[in-house]
Copies of this chain bind each other. A is one copy, B any other.
Amino acid sequence: MSESGLVIDDLSVDYDSTRAVSGLSLHVPDGQTLAIVGPSGCGKSTVLRTIAGLTRPAEGRVVVGGRDLTHVPASARDVGLVPQNYALFPHLSVRGNIEYGLKARGVDKVARREAVDRLLAFTELTPLAQRRPSQLSGGQRQRVALARAMAIEPSVLLLDEPLAALDPQLRGAMRRQLLDLLGATTSINVIVTHDRHEALSMADVVAVMRDGRLVQAGSPRELWQAPADAFVADFLCGATYVDVVLDQDAVHAFDGRWAIPYAAVDAARPATGRARGRLLLRPDSLVLSEHRGTGTVPALVRHAEFVGESTLVTLEVAGTAVSVRTDQPVTTGTTVHAGLAGRPVAHPHPEEIAA
């Protein structure tokens, strides 16, 4: 069977006696970027090490372009790695670092020189070619690590938290630069990150992991529109799922305290009787008002933080905490009335239709 792209097939990895990754399956088409995202300890770095051949899986396969790499040593995999701290060789110059993989592969001197010159120009490092890694800024180091990994023209390029080592102030600009550089490669890119903005903005496919297992995978917009469960909703969208009951009149949430007319919500009235569903409340799903209105629910303001662009408010509605982003000034401890701002998604679960 000839499969194109990167296929991770039912992969499990053990560290000593603990299972770090469990039954992971993923497919990344050629030329696309996969972001694996999850809280620390979810197994995402282990997946990366396994693709690189630095950790041996207990079960499952890693296949790239139809070639089963599971038993191929790291040095023969054609997989480029940009480690989290960049791991630049401190005793070699920028040129020496980028050249390393070509030398190890026995590329002749002329071809090596030509390839390195091209990569130096591509990553805008030409003036720094003779510098030592210690004389570079964080962003420059990142580019050297990237150029070094790209030099071997890998079929898969792995990046472990590529922005974590950078000053937070620079991260935005570096992310854009990295995207440009990655966009110019033809290889499959796999990025591991704990930052949801990085995952959503850099990837074609986002995989959310938790406790060694895949929770959800899909395009950034798919995951953003329909997070699979409360964990993904919270982790990737900063949102909350609220259980609702749909009847012929309205959608009811918070034990009936909140009745939302169908006009305000993107949900179909059940054909008959009542149905259960869940409502995804994003920080910008709600508008706050001092006055009660149709389809509003009274809520207690637990916290209000001015963050410039807006005020982040934590509301308490019937014991549930809900985050809201608003432009209006609100005061902690007061009661406000919250109503739906746009048309948030309600997912009626058909199997749970009640009488």
Instruction: Give me the interface of A with B, judged by CB distance under 8 Å.
Output: 39-40, 167-169, 172, 175-176, 179-180, 194-197, 200-202, 220-221, 224, 235-237, 282-284, 302-303, 305-309, 312, 314
Across the interface, do A179 and B303 meet the contact criterion of CB distance under 8 Å?
Answer: yes
Cα–Cα, bound, A314→B196 (Å)? 20
CB nearest to A302 among chain B residues: B176
Cross-chain pairs A/B with CB under 8 angstroms, 9 sampled: A169-B235, A176-B302, A176-B305, A176-B314, A179-B303, A179-B305, A200-B308, A201-B306, A201-B312
Across the interface, do B168 and A201 meet the contact criterion of CB distance under 8 Å?
Answer: no
Which residues of chain B are within 8 angstroms of A175 by Cβ–Cβ distance?
305
Which residues of chain B are within 8 angstroms of A312 by Cβ–Cβ distance?
172, 201
Which residues of chain B are within 8 angstroms of A282 by Cβ–Cβ distance?
309
**Top 10 closest A-B pairs, CB basis?**
A201-B305, A197-B307, A176-B303, A200-B308, A224-B308, A201-B307, A220-B306, A200-B307, A200-B306, A201-B306
Cα–Cα, bound, A44→B312 (Å)? 26
A19 vs chain B, min Cβ distance (A): 23
The count of identical subunits is 2
Which of B221, B283, B305 contacts A309, CB < 8 Å? B283
A327 vs chain B, min Cβ distance (A): 10
Which of B221, B236, B306 contacts A221, CB < 8 Å? B306
Cα–Cα, bound, A196→B302 (Å)? 22
Across the interface, do A168 and B195 meet the contact criterion of CB distance under 8 Å?
Answer: yes
A277 vs chain B, min Cβ distance (A): 23
Cα–Cα, bound, A202→B235 (Å)? 24
A190 vs chain B, min Cβ distance (A): 19
CB nearest to A303 among chain B residues: B176
Cα–Cα, bound, A302→B180 (Å)? 10
Known: A176-B314, A314-B176. A308 touches B197 (CB 8 A): yes
Residue in A169, A202, A284 with the greatest tally of chain B CB atoms within 10 Å: A169
